[in-house]
């Protein structure tokens, strides 16, 4: 389960950041999630509720998200295009020599503390 691993990883990271910054309670955590990660955010949000409930730091906090659009670079003509619209084949020159440059990652963008 992809989502479960991410939720545990995010919770660990937030615990570390909170300890370093003397934060006692988290209000919300904002993630940026790539368009082609395949992550189902609603499912992740449910898991967050379950995981955060076991932590005094995270209890009652909200998990928010923003999407990072997926972008592919064509190595033949050097143009970039939307991965979801264009797929693996470059819509500009028809080449298959393309590489995903963003959209398959997730980032903890923001952590909001409440006191
Ligand atoms: Zn091209």
Cα(35) to ligand 1 centroid in Å equals 21
pLDDT value at 1 more than 60: no
Residue linked to tokens 């979801």 = 84
74 carries a ligand binding annotation:
yes
- pLDDT for 2: 87
The domain limits of the chain are: 2-69+102-113
What angle (nearest 5°) sits at the alpha carbon of residue 73, between those of residues 67 and 77? 150
pLDDT in tens, 12-29: 999 999 999 999 999 999
Cα(86) to ligand 1 centroid in Å equals 11
90 carries a ligand binding annotation:
yes
93 carries a ligand binding annotation:
yes
Nearest to 69 by CA among 108, 105, 25: 105
pLDDT in tens, 40-83: 999 999 999 999 999 999 999 999 999 999 999 999 999 999 99
Cα(108) to ligand 1 centroid in Å equals 32
What's the CATH class of domain 2-69+102-113?
alpha beta
pLDDT value at 100 more than 90: yes
Separation of alpha carbons 60 and 83, rounded Å: 36
Phi first, then psi, for residue 18 (nearest 5°) are: -65, -40
- pLDDT for 114: 87
Crossing angle for the helix pair 41-52 and 2-20, nearest 10 degrees?
50
């Amino acid at each position: 389960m992809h989502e479960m691993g991410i939720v545990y990883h995010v919770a660990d990271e937030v615990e570390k950041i909170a300890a370093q910054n003397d934060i006692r309670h988290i209000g919300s955590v904002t993630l940026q999630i790539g368009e082609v990660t395949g992550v189902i955010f609603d499912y992740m949000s449910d898991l967050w509720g379950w995981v955060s409930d076991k932590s005094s730091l995270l209890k009652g906090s909200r998990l928010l998200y923003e999407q990072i659009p997926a972008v592919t670079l064509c190595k033949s003509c050097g143009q970039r295009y939307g991965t979801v619209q264009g797929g693996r084949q470059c819509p500009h020159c028809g080449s298959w020599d393309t590489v995903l440059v963003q959209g398959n990652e997730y980032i903890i963008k923001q952590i909001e503390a409440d006191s």
